[in-house]
Amino acid sequence: MEYQRRRSRSLLLDVCILLLLPWVVIAQKKTPAIFIFGDSLSDAGNNNYIRTLSKADSPPNGMDFPGGYATGRYTNGRTTVDIIGQLAGLKDFLPPYLAPNATGSLILNGLNYASGAGGILNSSGYILYGRISFNKQLEYLANTKGQIIAQLGEEAGMDLISNALFSSNFGSNDYLNIASLLVRIYHGQLTRLYNMGARKVVVASVGPLGCIPFQLTFRLSKNGECSAKVNAQAKEFNAGVFAMVKQLNAELAAAKFIYADAYKGVLEIIQNPAAYGEGPRLFFIFFLMVFTGFKVVNEGCCGAGDSYKGVIPCSSIVRLCPNRFEYLFWDPYHPTDKANVVLSTKFFSGTAYTWPMNIEQLLMS
């Protein structure tokens, strides 16, 4: 019990520091360029620039982002990759690839290619019309690579890319009941990323999708219980991704792929939300919002449709929950800024959520 109490307090101190970001930045030996691929969990606003039904460019999305405006991120503040970038030493948030200002020397810090509704398969997310698949995001990286080499020259440009951090999160929009096919395609796509010069790559698992408010509504959950069927599909896909990461490290020279276990990280919050609220109380608002812990883990803060708020996504016409800092989920699908801080802490410096090393160790390797 005493060990668990000390462990909780240690985690809470880390989380409290992170909640003060971007005002507090944890400096690293050297700030790398960072390139982000993924879906709406990582999108920084690319979908603002395409014709799609999947957008998060209206308030109250972004209300806790620096400046308090909707950026296109599907949360009230920052995504996990935003926070990891801050931990790695980036002074500014990475711009989306499609933003008009994503040119010139700015791209030398990295770019965000992620797109809401994007997937491993080109067809994934088609119901929402416009989206940027992983294959298309890789094409965008090829364009960026050419621009970097044009600015720095071949040797310096490839050096920047080989020392950069790459992050990939896909699967949430794909059809997980075809897990083996998805993993085979994903393997080829990540090999393509390696062949363009990437060496340090974080590959995130999918979370417990059977626990998100959308699935609770869709599956007519009783008492907020997660869908065992959907979670089983997620775990099957994740097992394939973990094996794929091991295989990529074995077969690609100098490759350093790591697996980030989002499933475990989110499920721990769901199963024991009060664990993030123990410890001494401090007299700063950012600390207090953490020490009160999570209280609602089966309902979206900004959504509508039923008791789980799992039908209608967040928008200005949807009623906001009274205290978003108590919620795990921001909307029917995505975590809150506070939840993303907890997850980022686990991935960046934790010892039980990444394999074969954490992100901090990867950056220093």
Q: List the catalytic residue out of 124, 331, 337, 344.
A: 331
d(C-alpha 269, C-alpha 239), whole Å: 21
CA-to-CA distance for 353 and 89, rounded, in angstroms? 21
How high is the pLDDT of residue 26?
41
Longest dimension (CA), the chain: 60
| pLDDT tens digits for range 82-96 | 999 999 999 999 999
- 187 as an active site residue: the answer is no
Q: Which of 187, 334, 337, 344 is catalytic?
A: 334
Write out the residue range of the structural domain in which residue 13 sits: 2-364
CATH number of the domain within which 59 lies: 3.40.50.1110
Q: How many domains would you assign to the chain?
A: 1
| CB 86 within 8 Å of CB 348 | no
pLDDT digits (tens, 9 = 90+) for 91-141: 999 999 999 999 999 999 999 999 999 999 999 999 999 999 999 999 999
Res. 29 pLDDT band, cuts 50 70 90: low
What gap in Å lies between CA 324 and CA 328, rounded to an integer?
8
pTM: 0.90
Q: Quote the strand ranges of 9-95, DSSP E.
A: 34-38
40 is catalytic: yes
Positive or negative, the Cα torsion across 281, 284, 290, 293? positive
**Distance between CA atoms of 206 and 170, rounded to whole angstroms?**
7
Is-contact 147 110, C-beta < 8 A? no
Can you tell me the distance from the alpha carbon of 337 to that of 323, in angstroms, rounded to the nearest whole number?
13
Residue 271 in this model has a pLDDT that exceeds 90? yes
Helix (H) or strand (E) holding 242: helix 228-251
Q: What's the token pair of residue 86?
A: 């801050």
**CA–CA separation, 217 and 305 (whole Å):** 8
- The single residue of 40, 115, 168, 344 carrying the catalytic annotation is 40
Q: 77 vs 59, 156, 197, CA distance in Å?
A: 11, 35, 31
> Which stretches does DSSP call E strand in 219-333?
256-260, 296-300, 327-329
Assess whether 344 carries a catalytic annotation. no
